[in-house]
Structure 1
Amino acid sequence: MAIGEIFLSSLIQVLLDKLVSMGLDYAQREGISPTLPYKCEKMLETINEVLDDAEDKQLDGDHLVKRWLDNVRDLAYDLEDLLDEFEIEAAQAKSEAESSTSRGQLKRKFPFFSRPHSLTSETKLLEIADRFEEIIKRKSLLSLRKNVVDRSQYTDERLPSTSLSETQFSGEKEEEQILELLTGEAENGNTTLSIVPIVGMGGIGKTALAQRLYNDAKVSSYFEKRAWVCVSDVFNVLDITKTILRSITEVSDEGEDLNRLQVKLKDSLSGKKFLVVLDDVWNENYGRWTTLLKPFEAGAKGSKIIITTRNYTVVSITGASSYPLKELSLNNCISLLAFHALKMKNFERHRDLETIGKKIAEKCKGSPLAAKVLGGLLRDKRNPDQWEAILNSRMWDLPMGENDEVIRVLKLSYVHLPSYLKRCFVYCAIFPKDYEIERDELVHLWIAEGFLMEEDQKIIS
């Protein structure tokens, strides 16, 4: 589903909020018929009522519905632009009213209060209302159904529960093995540098396992130097070397070329036992891999490089034996889902949800991340109909590649977000993969875009 398509449902709700809060007030101030913004509001509500069904049918490849949604989106953007104009003018009027000493001065300084401007605004609203009517007529021909289940507005009170720590379901055996490999003197005495690949499907817990190992007290005391790099799909030897050197020396050398940086890194690691984690590696180029490894040859015996990857070809170029993480068993997946949805290890106290919960857990295909996300999505829902809506979502029928259950689950989770959070979430797509986003900076960007109302800002902060 494209970003523009999943953005629509959140935009509709934002427009409704704006129409309710400012449409009538602006119409009264500008001498526009108050029935116009009210009419637009009601037609927008009618569209919003069938939006879930329309988006589901679009997923099934209904081209007529897709065209209808495209028209709705175009109209929504035009209405948003007009409401933004109203909002700017209202802010200007308020600011001037506070500093002006008379109403006469206000009218002379702001000609938009004159009748010609009102006629322009009314003409634009009439045009938008006419387009709304045409879209409503076409809606009837498409047989779109009203939303059966509201995806985001449930407010069930959480049942009281005691503090419960999450049981670790994946990687326990592998963690013990790798920990022994990292710190075992017998193994470390025979080799200068060892590569430890952790491999498995997306969301299986590779990075989480690497983090536990990296932060283990025994590991911290065993290695003199440690560094962590999130590599992702761009295997840039220069950038990776810079990041490792910065972690090892705590000094930035942004202007250096690769050769000079690798000499510095080699000198910094010479004779020292180190641990480097290369997270999320996709590189299949043997030449780049060997170039990256050159400085590490100077380290002391027992030095280690952990890599996490989904790609077994990556493992093959390292020449090392991999540590594959297996999918969760169904029972463990059910337990993990129950923990995050109900704060319990099973469904014993929620027998009405047990059958549906097990079927949802099967959808996770052994992915702990999928189970956690779905559990979080269901955490405030105690009505079996709400769980059925998740189980029967058309999102499960989306064409995906192998092991893409996490993508389906994340999309499903997005659909059930409150409208103001949907806009904020989609905005994050402008950042590149693995970009480190500063929280406060992001919130300010959301505010600048007008995504957050005053009450939303309080929730986010």
Structure 2
Amino acid sequence: MADAAISATVKVVLGTVICIAADRVGMVLGVKAELKRLSKTAATIQGFLADADGKMHSPEVRDWLKELEDEVFKADNVLDELHYDNLRREEKYRNQLTKKKVCFFFSFFNAIGFSSSLASRIRDINTNLKRINQQANDLGLVIKYQIEAALPADAAGATASRQTDSIIVPNVVGRSGDESKIVEMLLTPSERVVSVIPITGMGGLGKTTLAKSVYNKTEIDENFGIKSWVCVARKIDIVELFKLILKSLTRTKVDVDGREDIVQEIRGKLGEKRLLLVLDDVWNCEQGLWSDFFTTLSGLNAAKGSRCLLTTRLETVANAVPRHLQMNDGPYPLGKLSEAACWSMLKEKVIAGEDVPKELEAIKEQILRRCDGLPLAASLIGGLLLNNRKEKWHCIVQESLLNEDQSEIDQILKVSFDHLSPPSVKKCFAYCSIFPQDAELGEDELIQHWVTEGFVQPDRQNQRLMEEIAGDYLRILLQNSLLEKVEETWRTHYKMHDLVHDFAKSVLNPKSSSQDRYLALHSYEEMAENVRWNKASSIRSLFLHLGGGISADTDMLSRFKHLHVLKLSGYDVMFLPSSIGKLLHLRLLDISSSGITSLPESLCKLYNLQILTIDGYALEGGFPKQMSDLISLRHLNYWHDDAKFKMPVQMGRLTCLQTLEFFNVSQEKGCGIEELGTLKYLRGSLEIRNLGLVEGKEAAKQAKLFEKPNLSSLRLDFERKNDNCDEDVLEGLQPHPNLQKLEIRYCMGNKIPQWLINLPKLVELG
């Protein structure tokens, strides 16, 4: 399985190398011949990979693949430097034009020097790839250009610990008996203040689903005055556990830290009400912790009859809960589903109430043996069959019965993984495991990470946006039950079951690979260790959580010189070091979970940067002066509700921008509404403020809102009045007919704009 992951990686990176090499052939002085050679050799090796996939049993083929992996990453890094240098020159030229002076002499000779160095490095890579190419012949590999399955146009629609919620799962199958017994226990009168029901069972058995179903019963609501759902999902201390409970009860961020303050806040929330507390996915097995916890919990409320429902995979956890508090004198062991229940669940997934086709009936026995009573297994196999033709079902189930030495669930997941197509989807799936298991993943967040990591291959024929292609990848993972969609009233997010996450983690950085490339580090010491062992330069994605902040004099971050993604968190992290400007390959920077309140000017040298995510209100001093130099920026994820907040000057130069949450019109040069005119790719929601400063209809037209078909929501704010006519300005702000939501504030006109009747998709007007 690890070798299949490396193969997918090589296919994705090789595809990128071939595209970039072909694109840059005519653009770079002195390296044209080497780029042509690189593109041709890489394409030949790409043909060998399909044959290599069927010969992974050979140690020589596996070694060949590992060597190839290292070399294609080197090629990708070199070509990315070439791309960066082209962007740097483009931006320098634009700035010189702005200043009305162009200095060709020095840039010409600098280009010669850079091209000479680049040609030498590409020449070395070509030599190595030629040798690897010859090795493929020596190993008996033959060229087979594998045709990947087309992405479905209408595909239907986390992590070391997993995050769960109390939202009920519809049509829970096969658990009515367990549900009735647990509800009966919860409703049985008791003289204890708090009683505990631990539910135990292996991963994928449905403990969380059962707890959700019980938690949402009407009779439970009638018996308990207050309920709290807490996903523990990792080993934590008692103060953190109480803090999670308080957060669940208040549904707000907890601003108190001391144990005494936290438990007193909980006491105030409980009053004299009986509590139902669910602790889901518990891993702590220290008897002292649970004795201390339940002693305190019992003292917070004098009312008798509160209950704690605790789910865990580990019997040692259940045994650590004081026995005298357990309602059944021991844990409630959850058994496997019956074959009938598994079959019912799988049929609902695959055929949704239709008659069972003969192809499915023929493999029923094998499927049920593979499910082995696990609801997760039934769901995963159902997703696998759903996304393949009936003629392939028998072959797929046969494959899932191989390798009996692997755990049942791992083998099921492996088959789902092997059938993902194209290889880019495999990389996207594995990448999800870099997020902590507590993560609730947003659609935009996932897609933006996949795009910036280079996992999404361009659709040159249909000229689709990379984000649209990544959306197809997301739907493929949903169909295969490798991601779960959670829809709530106020938002939708995605999650990974913990078993799936564990599997994805083994795929992301397989032990058979020569280097780790995607890491989540949780301390300055871990960061230093990677530098000390010369691992830093191979890492592409770094999720860095630093409790103690970044040292002001450290240049350590720049040692991670090939980073594409940097997610920096920890509220003790108060600044970005200026060395951030040395990360020339960086495409995504997320500082939204840090304490950073300003950005260094060196950030503006990151010409490859595509996504910048910042916490709301974080930028006390505004954006860096040269912000408009970030010419690759596609998504600026930042919100500030102050209409006086200063926008970057000449934002109109950021012509790739898709996400811009707000724009404050100003009379300062380079900050007028005309800056929006060149941003033709804007999508989603946009708020435009200070429209009272716009001078008439013709000035408003310069925003060219009519030419932005992907804007779905628009808010027009006319605050900060001038002597201009609001009616004329509003008339000039005609949006594209695709607009779905429109809000107009503080407009002093007496008539509606004529274009309002030409918005056929408008569903909300405010």
TM-score normalised by L of structure 2: 0.51
Verify the 8 A CA contact 1:265 1:295 in the aligned structure 2. Answer: no
1:366-423 deviation per Cα after TM superposition (whole angstroms, max 9, x unaligned): 21112212222332211534651463269x52744xxx43333334323333333333
Q: Percent identity?
A: 27
> CA–CA distance in 2 between the matches of 1:282 and 1:25?
52
- Residues 202 and 406 of structure 1 are in contact (CA less than 8 Å); yes or no, is this contact kept in structure 2? no
Higher strand fraction (1 or 2): 2
| Structure-1 residue corresponding to 2:386 | 379
Q: 1:364 aligns with which of 363, 367, 371?
A: 371
- Where do residues 155-234 of structure 1 align in structure 2 (5 Å cutoff)? 167-182=171-186, 184=187, 187-234=188-235
Change in 2 beyond 3 A, CA 1:107/1:39: farther
Correspondence for 1:397: 403
In the alignment, the residues of structure 2 paired with residue 295 and residue 301 of structure 1 have an alpha-carbon distance, to the nearest angstrom, of 15
8 Å CA contact 2:199, 2:312 repeated in 1: yes
Structure 2 distance, partners of 1:159, 1:251, is 36
Alpha-carbon distance in 2 for matches of 1:317, 1:12 = 47
3-state SS in 1 of match to 2:19:
helix
Task: Say whether residues 1:72 and 2:68 are aligned partners.
Answer: yes
CA contact (8 A) 2:10 2:68 kept: no
Match of 1:17 in 2: 15
Is the contact between residue 349 and residue 383 of structure 2 (CA under 8 Å) also seen in structure 1? yes
How far did 1:357 drift? 5.5
**Equivalent of 1:406 in 404, 409, 413:** 409
Q: Is the 8 A contact 1:235 1:281 kept in 2?
A: no
Amino acid at match of 1:139: A
Q: Are 1:153 and 2:149 an aligned pair? A: yes
Give the structure with the higher percent helix.
1
**Partner of residue 80, structure 2:** 84
TM-superposition CA deviations, 1:33-69 (whole Å, max 9, x none):
2641331332231232134235x42xxxx54343222
Match of 2:25 in 1: 27
The 1:158–1:448 alpha-carbon spacing in structure 2 relative to 1, beyond 3 Å, is: closer
Which residue of 2 is the match for residue 38 of structure 1?
39
1:307 aligns with 2:296: no
Q: 1:15 to 1:158 in 2, by over 3 A?
A: closer
Aligned to 1:8: 6
Find out whether 1:419 has 2:423 as its counterpart: yes
Would the aligned equivalents of 2:233 and 2:438 in 1 still touch at CA under 8 Å? yes
- The alpha-carbon distance between structure 1 residues 448 and 63, as it changes in their structure 2 partners (threshold 3 A), is same
Contact kept in structure 2, 1:39 and 1:129, CA below 8 Å: no
Residues 325-340 of structure 1: pairs in structure 2 closer than 5 A: 325-340=334-349
User: 1:460 offset after TM fit, Å?
Assistant: 4.1
The whole-number CA distance in structure 2 between the counterparts of 1:360 and 1:136 is 42
Residue 8 of structure 1: SS of its match in structure 2?
helix
Distance in 1 (alpha carbons) for counterparts of 2:138 and 2:222: 70
Are the equivalent residues in 2 in contact too, given 1:156–1:382 (CA < 8 A)?
Answer: no
Larger deviation: 206-215 or 244-253? Answer: 244-253
* Cα offset, 1:334, TM superposition: 3.5
Unaligned runs of 5+ in 2: 157-168, 459-463, 472-766
Q: Distance in 2 between matches of 1:77 and 1:97?
A: 30
Match of 2:284 in 1: 283
Amino acid across the alignment from 1:391: Q
Query: 1:312 is aligned with what amino acid?
Result: E
Hey, what's the Cα distance between the residues in 1 that align with 2:41 and 2:109? Answer: 23
Partners of 1:166 and 1:339 within 8 A in 2: no
- Contact 1:49/1:147, CA 8 A, preserved across alignment: yes
Q: 1:344 to 1:86 in 2, by over 3 A?
A: farther
Counterpart-to-counterpart distance in 2, 1:297 and 1:274: 11
1:129 to 123, 126, 130: 126
Partner amino acid for 1:324? P
- TM-score (structure 1 length as normaliser): 0.81
Partner of 1:232: helix, strand, or coil? coil
Q: Deviations over 1:329-370 (max 9, x none)?
A: 334334433332343566x32x23443464244223221112
Provide structure 1 residue ranges, at least 5 long, that are not aligned to the other structure. none
Number of corresponding residues: 439
Q: Specify which of 291, 311, 320 is matched with residue 317 of structure 1.
A: 320
Contact kept in structure 1, 2:48 and 2:141, CA below 8 Å: no
Query: Which amino acid counterpart does residue 412 of structure 2 have in structure 1?
Result: V
SS at match of 2:232: strand
